[in-house]
Chains A and B, each alone.
Chain A
Amino acid sequence: MPITQLNNYRIFDKINQKMTIYGVALLATCYIAGQLFGEGLGKILGIDANVGGVGFAMLLLIVLGNWLQKRNFLAPETEKGISFWSQMYIPVIVAMSATQNVNAAMSGGFVALLAGIIPTAVAFAAISIISKSFKSSNKK
């Protein structure tokens, strides 16, 4: 086989190759679109905060992912590009906790301590109540 033809085959292969970066890029695109939407929503509402950017990005990824899966565009290699990051989630969280301002929490005094603890305890207690009441109403 002449060399030029071999090369042509290789190029053809590469175009058809399912690459991990496609998954990473899909994830990144959803992230950017969702976060920008959240930032924009914050601006429109006149507040200095991102409103639900991560949530919108997640919904976008679910919808796009399903759409691509149905059309068989989502090769295992592509999915690996996304699943890698979801497996990196816990280590990232560990790194995040290592960068928290723990000293500020300890030095805020008694008021800060109680204002952090008691409302949180109340909220925790309320979770089971809401969760139960909604489950029972669903069953009816």
Chain B
Amino acid sequence: MEIISNFLIKNGLIVAFAVTGAIMYASNVFSDKVLNKKIPGAAIAIIVGLLLAYAGGQMTGGTNGIADVKIFSGFALLGGSMLRDFTIVSTAMGASFVVMRQTGFAGVLSLCLGIVLTFVVGAVIAYAFGYTDAKSMTTIGAGACTFIIGPVTGTAIGASSQVIALSIAAGVVKSILVTIFTPFVAKYIGLNNPHTAMIYGGMIGTTSGVAAGLAATDPKLVPYGALTATFYTGLGCLTCPSILYFIMSRLF
């Protein structure tokens, strides 16, 4: 038993390939035979992934989902930001540069609007729950954007660690929500063309959520959404602790 588990730990990435392949296959079969393709196989596979992450967290108390279970540690590499970004870049091959340029302005606008809108609504909710000082409201509002912008902002402006933890949690909730619900709301928001995908990437911005949501909706749209979403976190880290905090500190 120990020999096997040591072997699996040593060959983590390969184990992750095999397990992920099995998840994909099972999800596709389930989507085909049981659900009549009403929910795409990729969406089911992603949800299975999230369930595994929950199980891993429960078992180990760690923060990296299933990757904290030693024999599945290879998931940290296969699902890490390096391979994620590498495969996202590869989808650009065959994407239309013309479409990207045409939607450029709408993309930039949706980025700015996406951050400000999310920030404001997040800050209002913080206020409603009794976090009425500018620092806490800014940090939670920033966390509502992505789970990176929250702690970056909170640390920069000196928010309490409890509020920073809250902001991370809010960002993770958003990321998971986007992952699960994008394929289901795609119809209603007209997310079926590159143009809308770029606006979607800018408005939602959370890279992992956008990446997973588009993958489950229509893989052809991935490069367009990813292109704008990649600027979201940077722009948020730039504006939340500066301009947006400045405005908040004047108001509260």
Interface residues of A (CB under 8 A from B): 27-28, 30-31, 34-35, 38, 41-42, 45, 47-55, 57-59, 61-63, 65-66, 79, 82-83, 85-86, 88-120, 122-128, 130-132, 134-135, 138
Q: Which of B35-58 contact A (CB under 8 A)?
A: 42, 45-50, 52-54, 56-58
Q: Does B89 contact A (CB under 8 A)?
A: yes
Nearest CB of chain B from residue A90's CB, rounded to whole Å:
5
B184-213 contact mask (Cβ, 8 Å, vs A): 1 or 0: 010011110001100110011001100110
Whole-angstrom distance between the Cβ of A128 and the nearest chain B Cβ = 4
Instruction: Given the known inter-chain contacts A114-B125, A119-B117, please indicate yes or no for A95 contacting B53, CB distance below 8 A.
Output: no
Distance in angstroms between the alpha carbons of A138 and B63 in the assembled complex: 46
A residues less than 8 Å from B91 (CB atoms)? 58, 86, 89
Q: Given A99-B67, A113-B173, verify A119-B122 contact (CB < 8 Å).
A: yes
Within 8 A of A (CB), among B122-179: 122, 125-126, 129, 131, 140, 143-145, 148, 152, 165-179
Q: Does the CB pair A50–B84 fall under 8 Å?
A: no
A116 touching B86, Cβ below 8 Å: no
Distance (whole angstroms) from the CB of B167 to the closest CB of chain A: 8
Within B194-252, the residues touching A (CB, 8 Å) are: 195-196, 199-200, 203-204, 207-208, 211-212, 215, 219, 222-223, 226-228, 230-231, 233-235, 237-238
Our pick among A62, A91, A138 for the contact of B97 (Cβ within 8 Å) is A62
B174 surroundings in chain A (CB, below 8 A): 116-117, 119-120
A101 to B79, CA, bound (A): 13
Query: Which of B88, B122, B191, B238 has a CB less than 8 Å from the CB of A58?
Result: B88
CB pair B93–A96 under 8 Å, yes or no, is: no
CB-CB < 8 A to B83: which residues of A?
Answer: 88, 92
* Min distance, Cβ B221 to any Cβ of chain A, angstroms: 12
| A125 CB to nearest chain B CB (Å) | 8
Closest chain A residue, CB of each to CB of B76: A99
| B66 lies within 8 A of A92 (CB) | no
Chain B residues with Cβ under 8 A from A54's Cβ?
85, 88-89, 207, 226-227, 230
What is the interface residue range for chain B against chain A? 35 or more
Give the interface centre of A47, A57, A115, A124 by most chain B CB atoms within 10 Å.
Answer: A115
Contact, CB under 8 Å: A100 / B208: yes
Return the chain B residue nearest A56 by Cβ: B230
Q: Can you identify 25 A-B contacts, CB atoms within 8 angstroms?
A: A50-B233, A54-B89, A54-B230, A58-B227, A65-B92, A89-B87, A91-B21, A98-B20, A98-B75, A99-B67, A99-B79, A103-B54, A105-B172, A108-B173, A109-B169, A119-B122, A120-B177, A123-B118, A123-B204, A126-B114, A128-B190, A130-B106, A130-B199, A132-B190, A134-B199
- C-beta contact mask, B94-132 vs A, less than 8 Å → 1, else 0? 110100101100100110011001110110011001010
Q: Are A55 and B50 in contact (CB under 8 A)?
A: no
Q: Is B71 on the interface with A (CB-CB < 8 A)?
A: no
> Could you say which of A51, A85, A125 contacts B90, with CB atoms under 8 Å apart?
A85
* Interface pair B92/A62, CB less than 8 Å apart: yes
Contact across chains for B152 and A49 when beta carbons are under 8 A apart: yes
Cβ of B78 < 8 Å from any Cβ of A?
yes
**Nearest CB of B to A42, in Å:** 6
When the two chains form their complex, are residues A131 and B90 in contact, meaning their CB atoms are under 8 A apart? no
A66 to B95, CA, bound (A): 11
CB distance from B94 to the nearest CB of A (A): 8
The reply to whether B189 and A104 form a contact with Cβ atoms under 8 Å apart is no
Contacts A48-B237, A49-B234, A122-B121 given; does A99 touch B195 at CB 8 Å = no
